[in-house]
Amino acid sequence: MKSILKSISSGIEYPLDEVRFTSDNGELLDVIHDFDALKKKYPLTREYFLSKRSSINGQPSGGVWHFKELVLPDIAESEIVSKQEGNTRLYRTKKISSWLGLNKEKFFLKHEGENPTGSFKDRGMTAAITMAKHLKQKAVTCASTGNTSASLAAYASEAELTGIVLIPKGNVAVGKISQALAYGTKTLVVNGDFDDCMRLIREAQETLSAYPLNSINPFRLEGQKTIMWEILQQRNWQVPDWIVFPGGNLGNTSAFGKALHEAHQLGLIDRLPRLAVIQAEGASPFYKAYKNNFSGLKTEKAETIATAIKIGDPVNYTKAVRALKWTNGIVESVTDEEILEAKANVDAAGIGAEPASCATVAGIKKLIASGEIKTNETVVGILTGNILKDPQVIVDYHFNRKTALANPPHDVEASIEEIKKYLS
């Protein structure tokens, strides 16, 4: 019942323990599990997953390894490198739902910024680092807009592997580069953009003799699938109408499509929610390809304040197109101004998230305005990264803007009189 690697179009098969990221003819690879064999061992029903309890505190449990049977079924529990990722909150928030004009009972925000290193990347990292160890790799590497390097750094430390990260000069938020340095990974600041870093990783795999942990690594996506299953389980397996989230390298898009497709195949859900991928206007090759009925991807030079999605040549394009076909999905693009406005609202609601994450909420706003999302539909938005990842954007906004939500600090003398004067 071993899982295998399989190329996504021509179906060429490779063993799971072969170190490779594309097929010989250059296609991306899927991890394919043998569901029929797995079902003979585990029930894999809604009830099974709902009734599974955490081995730590007996609570109903979520998280990546709650779904181990559908992530890496052949790997021994003892091999797993985990920081208890997942189990993130599904918020309902009156402030944001009323700003959007949605029903508070039907609008949810899944906060993936509550993972161990502050982004959803940890869900993929636990699976891919576990495989790196299993495959006896000594060093791991990635190109990163910041969060992948933060996550890699923490997990490489835990797994006692050498970490090497390539980040684009001047384009990584301060919270993220701080984490890479603090967790002790070798950090190379490349005089180029993310797409240059990604190209180097793909070209230099052998020279570096380091195992790539970008989302081209199919095990990353196996871990990220659990975001979908956790949402479904948190909602008692009731399927929402929409799942909305930002798209950069399109790893989540690919993983979410696969998760929903598999849940449907297993009979866990009887219909699929629609995926809505939101891109920043200055980094929107997927949006443009969508508008051209996916007749081809034109790469571009990316520019946006949302550095986590500042990507002009997404490696997971073909898998992402498939995900949208499976889910009748759509792509929207939003301006940096729209992202900042949405972020001010997400932050002021006491939830907060980094700029790329707030593209989700800006996208929902735009899709409601265009009538694509109806106000009586159930919508789950994904916040991909923590508010503290990019404090500079927050400071710039509140010090320099004159908007209703701008909230600059005030200097006062050290006296009660002065404070009273200010507050009145």
Q: Which residues bind ligand PLP (CB under 6 A)?
A: 119, 121, 147, 215, 246-252, 308-309, 354, 356-357, 384-385
Asked whether the CA dihedral 142, 226, 286, 380 is positive or negative, the reply is negative
Q: At closest approach, how far in Å is the CB of 272 from ligand PLP?
A: 19
Q: At closest approach, how far in Å is the CB of 353 from ligand PLP?
A: 8
Q: At closest approach, how far in Å is the CB of 224 from ligand PLP?
A: 7
Output the six-digit token pair for 179. 């984490």
Task: Give the contacts of 179 (CB within 8 A, at least 6 positions apart).
Answer: 117, 118, 149, 150, 153, 154
Q: At closest approach, how far in Å is the CB of 118 from ligand PLP?
A: 9
Give the separation between CA 424 and CA 422, rounded to whole angstroms.
6
Q: At closest approach, how far in Å is the CB of 63 from ligand PLP?
A: 19
Q: Can you spell out the DSSP letters for 19-40? A: --SB-TTS-BEEEE--HHHHHH
Q: At closest approach, how far in Å is the CB of 161 from ligand PLP?
A: 21
Cβ-based nearer residue to ligand PLP, 116 or 385: 385
Q: At closest approach, how far in Å is the CB of 55 from ligand PLP?
A: 29
Asked if residue 145 lies in contact with residue 217, where contact means CB atoms within 8 angstroms, the answer is: no
Asked if residue 344 lies in contact with residue 230, where contact means CB atoms within 8 angstroms, the answer is: no
Give the separation between CA 123 and CA 23, rounded to whole angstroms.
25
Cβ-based nearer residue to ligand PLP, 49 or 250: 250
Cβ-based nearer residue to ligand PLP, 134 or 319: 319
Q: At closest approach, how far in Å is the CB of 362 from ligand PLP?
A: 13
Task: Give the contacts of 182 (CB within 8 A, at least 6 positions apart).
Answer: 153
Residue the block writes with tokens 């866990």: 268
Asked if residue 317 lies in contact with residue 292, where contact means CB atoms within 8 angstroms, the answer is: no
382-to-95, 345, 368, 386 alpha-carbon distances in Å: 17, 15, 17, 12
Determine the Cα angle at 310 with ends 125 and 210, to 5°: 40
Task: Give the contacts of 201 (CB within 8 A, at least 6 positions apart).
Answer: 141, 142, 143, 166, 212, 214
Cβ-based nearer residue to ligand PLP, 63 or 251: 251
Cβ-based nearer residue to ligand PLP, 130 or 357: 357
